[in-house]
A = this chain, B = another copy of it.
Amino acid sequence: MSRILVINPNSSVDMTRDIDAGLDVLRRNGGSEITCMTLAEGPREIETQEDVERVVLPVQNTIRQNEADGYVISCFSDPGLVLARETASRPVVGIAESSFLAALGLGHLFGVVAIHNRSIPRHMRNIRALGLEHRLAGDRALDIGVAEVRDAGVVDRVAKVGRTLRDEDHADVIILGCAGMGIYRTAIEDMLGIPVIDPTQVAVARLMGVIALGYARVA
């Protein structure tokens, strides 16, 4: 049985618990063992580029010190992904890039619900770097703190932005631009009537396929 390690690069044990709960749907008899861990030395939230940079080496160390058949970096900034891939001997996936790839297979035009307005240019650079700009419907922000992502009202706020992406930008699949919201995915899907992507879920599903097919690396 293959083992997948999902790393939450911030120090919030609550978020790790939510990420973990959101992955239950992928836990099956005989399937991969999926373990979520918290980066103890990570910041409480990853909000700034400095937060991102400060976890790059700790994420690499975590991968080095925890043997597994594959690794997921569960933060929508994909912190440390390039370095982790350079040094790990097993496949490492980021949740942002995984969500963009998954969106191509679930709809014609994807919309992204960003946490902050200031993240949107970074998303755009990522999407263009992947050569996928022709499939992007739009990227719109909740403009809340990462902490509020776990608040009661988040489902309604996400659904409101999702409706704008669907109705004004013509998105027919929506990416939740943050980790830890997998537990709300089907609720939001019911409200919007189109597929909704939790980035960590699709990252794990992608990694399960990569491992099963025996690819040693992804890129």
Q: Which residues of A contact B (CB under 8 A)?
A: 25-26, 28-31, 48-50, 52-54, 56-57, 60, 80, 82-83, 86-87, 93, 97-98, 101, 104-109, 120-121, 124-126, 128-135, 170, 172-173, 186, 195, 201-202, 205-206, 208-210, 212-215, 217-219
Contact = CB atoms under 8 A, between A and B. Distances in A.
Contact of A106 (B53, B173, B218): B218
Contacts of A87: 49-50
Given A86-B49, A128-B129, A219-B106, A205 B195 contact: no
13 contacts: A28-B212, A49-B83, A50-B83, A50-B87, A97-B105, A101-B101, A101-B104, A101-B105, A108-B124, A109-B121, A128-B128, A131-B133, A205-B213
Contacts of A212: 25-26, 28, 205
Nearest to A131: B134
B108 A121 contact: yes
A214 to B, nearest CB: 7
Contact of A219 (B108, B201, B209): B108
B131 A132 contact: yes
Contacts of A170: 120
Contacts of A83: 49-50, 52-53
Given A30-B31, A83-B49, A86-B48, A219 B101 contact: no
Contacts of A172: 121, 219
Contact of A205 (B57, B124, B131, B209): B209
Contacts of A125: 108, 129
Given A49-B86, A108-B121, A201 B213 contact: yes
Nearest to A204: B209
Contacts of A86: 48-50
Contacts of A29: 29-30
Nearest to A26: B212
A1 to B, nearest CB: 8
A48 to B, nearest CB: 6
